[in-house]
Amino acid sequence: MPAIVGSEYRKIAVEYATARDKHLAMKQDFFDAVYIIVQLQSIVPEVDLLTQFWGAYQVNSDTINTSEMFLSSIRTLQSHVVSRGGFDNIDQYLVAEGITVPQTWADLSTGVGYAISKSNID
């Protein structure tokens, strides 16, 4: 069975990179909500809301800071294209397919042991 074709691989890489970037942006959104509460001029809403919203920020911040939820899928895809395609590394696959990937995807790929050269990054 051959490896996934480059155009489909690139679509997956772009979608995952976009999802990761949005995931990281969420952290700021949670903090912004907390900041609005801190800036309230009335003490009652601040007292009523701050603890819960700060807790939500902290829980989500811890989740957002880790890329673990992304890594297993990326590791599996990289292994698939290298082994099924008969390549020695992911760069060979990217060059053979004539595709590049987003920086975020390259960073995540490196995190699972599949480094991507700069020449293969958008």
Mind listing the pLDDT tens digit for each residue in 47-94?
A: 778 778 877 777 777 666 666 767 888 999 999 999 999 999 999 999
pLDDT (0 to 100) of residue 1: 53
Query: Is the pLDDT at 3 greater than 70, yes or no?
Result: yes
Mind listing the pLDDT tens digit for each residue in 86-122?
A: 999 999 999 999 999 999 999 999 999 999 999 999 9
Cα 63 from chain centre: 12
d(CA 53, CA 46): 10
Residues comprising the chain, all counted: 122
Cα distances from 84 to residues 24, 47, 102, in angstroms, run: 32, 58, 23
pTM exceeds 0.95, yes or no: no
pLDDT (0 to 100) of residue 69: 67
